[in-house]
Amino acid sequence: MSHFRTILQTSEGFYKEKGSKFLAFAVPCKTEEEAKIYLHQWRKEHHQAVHVCYAFRFGSDKKLYRASDDGEPSNSAGPPILGQIQSFDLTNILVAVVRYYGGTNLGVGGLINAYRTASKEALEQSEIVELEDEQEITISFTYEQMPQVMKIVKSQPCKIITQSFEVACVLKVSLPLSNSTLQAQLQNLDGVELESVKV
């Protein structure tokens, strides 16, 4: 299965209890490196917050995931956030909840409820889409073949990532993994070279 559900853009949620504020952020995200950039940004923006707890899940197979309590009692923050990602059946997503302490301890049950509710609200505010894993194809061809190649590329649901039209022309495109028409049509052209990688 290369289809998966994710969110289209950033969304936010909010929960307040006994003076503590919980700000949730859900963002579409594909890698741990990307997640670290977002987390660093939120820690910087909310430097007075006591905790930035989070969970992420990546890949259409949903096998790569992590949850962090960031100093809150064990399993009181990260797992409830991850639980919401799972209950919405999402992947390629990072959800973080920033907590501003209000002076009163909420207890483990109160924390679980707060982190779960803030995350749920952020996900309810998001636009959920179904996508498919993509492949990137590098097409190498001669200048003379450009009209034929471009005609085929334009007839398919692909995005052009980079293009270079010198003596040798190189075009890099991305399109759904299930689409084999582009390659089949381009392989019929003499001298056109293709290189495909799943992304």
pLDDT of residue 165: 87
Rg (CA), the chain: 22
> Are 171 and 138 contacting, i.e. CB atoms less than 8 angstroms apart?
yes
pLDDT recorded at residue 1:
54
26: exposed, middle or buried (Cβ count in 10 Å: 0-12, 13-18, 19+): buried
Q: Looking at domain 3-130, does it have CATH number 3.30.230.30?
A: yes
CATH 3.40.718.10 fits 133-198, yes or no: no
pLDDT of the chain, 199 residues: tens digit per residue:
588 999 999 999 999 999 999 999 999 999 999 999 999 999 999 999 999 999 999 999 999 999 999 999 999 999 999 999 999 999 999 999 999 999 999 999 999 999 999 999 999 999 999 999 989 999 999 988 999 999 999 999 899 999 998 878 999 999 998 888 999 999 988 889 999 888 7
What pLDDT score does 191 carry? 87
Residue 80: closest CA among 24, 1, 150: 24
Total-model pTM: 0.82
What number of residues does the chain have? Answer: 199
d(CA 38, CA 46): 12
Domain ranges of the chain: 3-130, 133-198
